[in-house]
Amino acid sequence: MRPPAPLPREFYLQDTVDVARALLGCVLWRKYGREWLAVRIVETEAYLGVNDAASHARRGHRSQRNESMYLDGGHAYVYMTYGMHYCVNVVTQEDWIPEAVLLRGGEPLSGIETMRSLRGGFSRDRDIASGPAKLTQAMAIDRALDAASLGSDVLRITPRDRDVAESEISVSARIGVEGAPAAAHWPLRFFFAGNPHVSPGRPAGSFVPSKKRRSRG
């Protein structure tokens, strides 16, 4: 299976929360050798930059690790967490505005046996990419792809391959940000409720679906 044309750059320049919602149902592709691996995005989290205590760019922090967050929208931000796992984010906004969307879960579509092997031979499809570290391991995404264009011949995101109703999208607090109490309960995690490929992590709280953006102040 070969990928269709990628999402346009303008997609990533929208409000970051809107991008996080709109990415649900889109397809992430990774060229691995001669094969294209693909997952449908089923879970995301928005990170809102300098005024978000849970963001790597909080208070304007900038370092070699998070430099790609300061690129213009449509690039990948890949970082290592806990010294052993990678996570991949979609950079949003114009350059110098360090906002991004973490890809937390994917439903395997193409290259499933290769992804299963990269994950160490897990047998169930639901275990292949149901978490941010699982997703990057299954798709062989590491720091070598940090700052890569998401419209390239190696890594790209393409439009939704099916219609998505707003009623399908659930919202909750983000996962694993308890160390940032000021932002721990912000409703910035978006996912398809009941989808078996959503990560099993527990958010700080639950919220009803809403398109309203929380104040960054």
**Pairwise CA distance, residues 158 & 23, whole Å:** 9
Give per-residue pLDDT as tens, 63-90: 988 999 999 999 999 999 877 899 999 9
| Inside any domain, residue 173 | yes
* Average pLDDT across the chain, whole number: 91
SS3 at position 118: helix
SS3 at position 117: helix
The answer to whether 188 and 54 are in contact (CB under 8 A) is no
| Inside any domain, residue 27 | yes
Give per-residue pLDDT as tens, 112-171: 999 999 999 977 999 999 999 999 999 999 999 999 999 999 999 999 999 999 999 999
Using a cut of 0.85, tell me whether the model's pTM lies above it: yes
| Inside any domain, residue 26 | yes
Q: How confident is the model at residue 203 (pLDDT cuts 50, 70, 90)?
A: confident
| Inside any domain, residue 160 | yes
Count of domains observed in the chain: 1
Helices (runs of H) and strands (runs of E) counted in the chain: 3, 9
| Inside any domain, residue 157 | yes
pLDDT for 106 equals: 98
| Inside any domain, residue 48 | yes
| Inside any domain, residue 34 | yes
CATH of the domain at 179: 3.10.300.10
Which structural domain, as residue segments, surrounds residue 176? 9-207
CB atoms within 10 A of CB 140: 17
pLDDT for 208 equals: 37
